[in-house]
Amino acid sequence: MNIKQNKMLLAGLGIIVFLSALALLAPLLSPFDPAHIEQAELLAPPSLRHPLGTDSLGRDLLSRMFYGARISLSVGLVAVGIATLLGIMLGSVAGFYGGFWDALIMRFVDVMLCFPAFFLILAVVAVFEPSIFNIMCIIGLTSWMGPARLVRAEILSLKEREFIQAAVALGASNARIIIRHLIPNAAAPLLVNATLGVSGAILLESGLSFLGLGVQPPVPSWGNILIESKSTLGVAWWITVFPGCAILVTVLAFNMLAEGLRKQGGTK
């Protein structure tokens, strides 16, 4: 398919690039310091001075949304990067070597999948101090099973093909075969999976922050901005609507991008 005809991919990519630009340019675009408190502007509705209104401490919601985009997107991308890297390492070993290593790694994957992911993350967060770094690592370390199974399945199919047999006959090392031949040829479905994983990680971070176990105030993220909506929904609808819409649009954009990549690469 011609990439210009792939409207799903272009739309998703366009939204993500736009949101990423807003996040990167947050210091220039934000009209106020996200931590600046104005006692005279508590729960002010949207206006020319505060286009998205203010929160219960008088902080400008637009500025906090810009900075929150940085945190939410960073957590999603880094967490998926960790999960994908672990999945590639373990899945490639299981698929290429088979036997004992395959059985050991896959049984460990089965054990990890027995635990509900969200409750496993809650348990780990309860042990360690909630912080941006810890949240990234925790989400990544509890989300690698899908990529590992995907990479294993692709390598089991690829390692029997002629170009791999030719590389073996030429004396290429196992590491070279895995890194130079197998993993690049398994990249298309892995990229689709990783793109979907970003939206899942953003939702997880938002859920944890909403429960008070994610990114901690005063650092803004879309999830912890929503915390205030529990007590101000009746008088300040904007604190619920704008962060909720930002999460919705971002997750939808990554899902659209993943679907576009699937169509582009012909991945089933």
Mean pLDDT, the chain, rounded, equals 88
- Give the rounded percent of residues in the chain with a pLDDT score beyond 70: 98
Whether residue 218 has a cis bond before it, omega within 30° of 0: yes
pLDDT attached to residue 60: 93
Determine the 3-state secondary structure of 60 from DSSP.
Answer: strand
195, 264 Cβ separation under 8 angstroms: no
Q: Is pLDDT above 80 for 130?
A: no
User: Residue 191: pLDDT above 70?
Assistant: yes
**Reported pTM:** 0.88
203: its two tokens: 């939702």
CATH architecture for the domain at 3-30+50-265: Orthogonal Bundle (1.10)
Which residue, 124, 134, 138, is CA-closest to 83?
138
Please tell me the predicted confidence (pLDDT) of residue 41. 87
Distance, CA of 150 to chain centre: 18
Question: What's the confidence (pLDDT) of residue 174?
Answer: 87
Mean pLDDT of 130-158: 89
Q: Rg of the chain's alpha carbons, rounded to an integer?
A: 22
- For range 131-138, the mean pLDDT: 86
pLDDT tens digits along 101-118: 999 999 999 998 888 777
Query: How does residue 266 score in pLDDT terms, banded at 50, 70 and 90?
Result: low
- The pLDDT assigned to 229 comes to 78
What residue spans define the domains of the chain? 3-30+50-265
Amino acid symbol at 39? Q
User: Over the stretch 137-147, which tens digit does the pLDDT of each residue have?
Assistant: 888 988 899 99
Taking residues 72-78, what's their average pLDDT? Answer: 91
- Residue 5, judged by CB atoms within 10 A of its CB (0-12, 13-18, 19+), counts as exposed
Model confidence at 39: pLDDT above 70 = yes
Separation in Å, CA 174 to CA 37, 93, 142, 167, 171: 59, 10, 28, 10, 9
How far is residue 63's CA from residue 56's CA, in Å, rounded to a whole number?
A: 15
From the list 154, 145, 127, the residue with the least C-alpha distance to 82 is 145
Q: Tens of pLDDT along 227-239?
A: 877 778 778 899 9
Q: Judge whether 197 and 84 are in contact, CB under 8 Å.
A: yes
What SS3 state is found at 49? coil
CA distance 168 to 172: 5
pLDDT (average), residues 241-249? 93
